[in-house]
Amino acid sequence: MFSLRPTATFFTLGAAVMASTAAMAAKADEVHYNQILVRAEVNQEVQRDLMTVTVYTESQNSDPAKLAAGITDTLNKALGEARKVKEVTIRQGSRNSYPIYDDKGQKITGWRERAELRMESPDFAALSKLTGELLGSDMKMGGMDFSISDPARKASEDTLLKSAVTAFKTRAQLVTDALGGSGYKLVNLNLNTSGYPQPYMRAPVMMMKAARADAAPTPEVEAGTSQVSVTADGVIEVTMP
């Protein structure tokens, strides 16, 4: 009698597993019944409202200590001028030095060093004026970039998210009507944003002008816009009459 109990238990568990599998298969068939993939996309031109400029100083000398001292002095002067402009955020960029070899590439004849200063501001006029003043000294233009600030990004994203959901609902209803359905229910929905530019360095395209002959030149800049997109991808289940 004791030997029959495991066998009976085995058959009972086997029946339970078969019943569970059948229920899961039926549920899976039910979930995928009359399901349609729907996609909607909305776009908006967003003004790039953040300007970043990189300026640098570069020099060479046979004495690395004198070279480093000269670079530091030039950089400190530029930092002093930049700190006077409250609208501009300043941070030091990369600084590196490397040896200069003779024609045979065997003997070090000197050293070359470069140090960068990066400035960022939503006030294009203030940063452009400062850039012109620094370029009139010992600094050189390294690059200029434009991006969308966090507040502007969030504002445009919130607006587009609402528009994308509305566009999705409109398209879902169109699909339902085309299939002759009496309604639909939302199975899942995914929202994705794209097009927000990260700062990227590029050679500045600008004209240099001066209000008077001895004035520091001021770069004229145009940030432009970026097309931002939000897509709504989802699955609906159409109810048939």
Contact 82, 90 (CB under 8 A): yes
Output the six-digit token pair for 23: 């229920």
Residue 8 is predicted with a pLDDT of: 40
Residue 162 is predicted with a pLDDT of: 93
What span, in angstroms and rounded, lies between the C-alpha atoms of 118 and 137? 16
Residue 97 is predicted with a pLDDT of: 93
Q: Where does CATH 3.30.70.360 sit in the chain? A: 50-147
Considering just the CA atoms, what is the radius of gyration of the chain in Å? 33
What span, in angstroms and rounded, lies between the C-alpha atoms of 218 and 88? 16
Q: Which candidate, 174, 176, 168, 184, places its Cα nearest to that of 232?
A: 168
Q: Which residue has the tokens 């009972």?
A: 12
Residue 76 is predicted with a pLDDT of: 94
DSSP-derived 3-state class of residue 84 = coil
What pLDDT tens digit does each residue of the chain (241 aa) get? 333 444 343 333 344 444 455 555 555 555 457 899 999 999 988 889 999 999 999 999 999 999 999 999 999 999 999 999 999 999 989 999 999 998 888 899 999 999 999 999 999 999 999 999 999 888 999 999 998 888 988 899 899 999 999 999 999 999 999 999 999 999 999 999 886 554 444 444 443 443 333 444 555 566 788 888 899 999 999 999 8
| pTM attached to this predicted model | 0.64
**222 Cβ partners below 8 Å, 6+ apart?**
none
Q: Where does CATH 3.30.110 sit in the chain? A: 31-49+149-241
Contact 114, 57 (CB under 8 A): yes
CATH fold of 31-49+149-241: Translation Initiation Factor IF3 (3.30.110)
Q: Which CATH architecture has domain 50-147?
A: 2-Layer Sandwich (3.30)
Q: Output b/e per residue, 17-36; b: 16+ Cβ within 10 A.
A: eeeeeeeeeeeeeeeeeeeb
Residue 227 is predicted with a pLDDT of: 83
